[in-house]
Amino acid sequence: MSAASNGNIVLGIDIGGSGIKGALVDVEAGELVERRFRIPTPQPSKPKKVAAVVKQIVDHFEWNGPVGATFPAIVRGGRVYSAANVHKSWIGTDGRALFEAQTGLPFELVNDADAAGIAEMTYGAGKGRTGTVLMLTLGTGIGSALFRDGVLVPNTELGHLIFKGSDAEHYAADSVREAEKLSWKAWGKRVAAYLDHVEYLFSPNLIIIGGGVSKKHEHYFRYFHTEAQVVPAKMLNEAGIIGAALEAHRSMQRA
C-alpha cells in the first residue's frame, strides 16, 4: 500500500524565511514516517519562487494527496496578510490557491506558530490541557499560538507586541541572544519580563516554550517567575510539519 493510499499519512511542509522543509506524517501517531527533506528558501522569497520549491518537495516524496503547509505570516482562508520574514509581495497573495495551482493537490495553509501549537496541543506538552494555553516559539522571532479549552485563537502574532519600545521579538527572541552575545541569565531575564507582560494580558494556565532553544531550557527557565506553569515543547523542530499535516487531514475530513 502506498503512503498516499493510507488515510493517516499526510505531507506536511514548513515554510520559513531561511528554509523550506517537508516530511510525510502519520497524523494518528503524530510522527514523521520519513526523514525530512529541506531546501533553502529562495532569495528573494517571492511567491512564485517559493511555490516552485514547494513543488520540488511534493515531487521528492512522489506525493499525490492532501498537503498541509505552514507560513510565517498572518493567514486567513489561505490568503496571506503579513510578511515579516518573507518578501512583501506575499501580502494579499492567496497562498493556498498558488500552491494548489503549482502542484495540482489540495492544500491547507496555516500560520507557522499556530501549526506548532496545534501539534503540541494534540500530541505534546499541551495534550489534554484545558483553560488558556499559550505557546511561544523563540527563534529568529517570537511566534505565538493561543488556545482556550483546546480551541485555537488564530494569528495572535504576540512577538509583535510593542514591548520596551519596539516589537517584543527584537528584545527577547533567541536570535537577539545570539546577536548580542547575551548570557543565559541576561537573556532569561529578558524572556521573563516578556512572559510577565503576556501573562498580564492573557492570564494563561500553561505556557509552552518552543523553538530550538527549548532544548536548553534548563539554562534560562530558572529566571521565570510567572503564575502560569511554564514547560518546554516536546515536538521541537518537527512541530510545524506535524501540525500543518494534521490541519490538512482535518480539512479533508470536514470536506
**167 and 222 housed in the same domain:** yes
What's the confidence (pLDDT) of residue 7?
84
Residues 135 and 209 in one domain: yes
What is the arithmetic mean of pLDDT over 120-135?
98
Task: Clarify whether residues 181 and 222 are in a common domain.
Answer: yes
Percentage of residues in the chain having pLDDT higher than 90: 93
**Could you tell me which residue, 205 or 140, shows the higher pLDDT?**
205
Q: Which three cell numbers stand for residue 29?
A: 501517531
Do residues 33 and 105 both lie within one domain?
yes
From CA 115, how far away is CA 106, in angstroms rounded? 17
Q: Can you tell me the mean pLDDT for 140-154? A: 96
What amino acid is encoded at 180 in this protein? Answer: E
For residues 168 and 137, is the Cβ–Cβ distance under 8 A?
A: no
Q: Which residue has the cell 514547560?
A: 231
pLDDT of residue 35: 95
pLDDT at position 163: 97
Let me know: does 102 contact 94? Beta carbons within 8 Å. Answer: no
- pLDDT higher than 80, residue 115: yes
Q: Taking the complete model, does pTM exceed 0.85, yes or no?
A: yes
Average pLDDT over residues 120-133: 98
Give the mean pLDDT of 111-118. 97
Q: Do 61 and 37 belong together in one domain?
A: yes
What's the one-letter identity of residue 225? H
End-to-end, the C-alpha distance of the chain in Å comes to: 24
Query: What's the total number of domains in the chain?
Result: 2
On the question of pLDDT at 136 being above 80, the answer is: yes
| Distant-in-sequence, close-in-space partners of 132: CB < 8 Å, separation ≥ 6 | 146, 147, 148, 202, 203, 204, 205, 206
- 5 pLDDT more than 70: no
The Cα-based distances of 165 to 123, 162, 170, 183, 188 in angstroms read 37, 6, 10, 22, 19
Do 213 and 191 meet the contact criterion of CB atoms below 8 Å apart? no
pLDDT tens sequence across 60-75: 999 999 999 999 999 9
Residue 2, pLDDT score = 44
Same domain flag for 90 and 26: yes
Q: Calculate what percentage of the chain has a pLDDT beyond 70.
A: 98
CB 100 within 8 A of CB 107: yes
Confidence label for 1 from pLDDT (cuts 50, 70 and 90): very low
Q: Do 31 and 82 fall within a single domain?
A: yes
| pLDDT of 84 higher than 90 | no
Regarding whether 223 and 167 lie in a shared domain, the answer is: yes
pLDDT at 3 over 80: no
Residues 6+ apart with CB under 8 A from 193: 163, 164, 172
What mean pLDDT do residues 190-208 have? 98
- Is residue 130 scored above 60 in pLDDT? yes
Residues 238-249: tens digit of each pLDDT: 999 999 999 999
Within a domain: 122 = no
Task: Establish if 24 belongs to a structural domain.
Answer: yes
Residue 242 sits in the same domain as residue 224: no
Q: Residue 172 is part of which domain span?
A: 128-233
Residues 14-50 have pLDDT tens digits of 999 889 999 999 999 999 999 999 999 999 999 999 9
Asked whether residue 121 is assigned to any structural domain, the reply reads no
pLDDT, averaged across the chain: 95
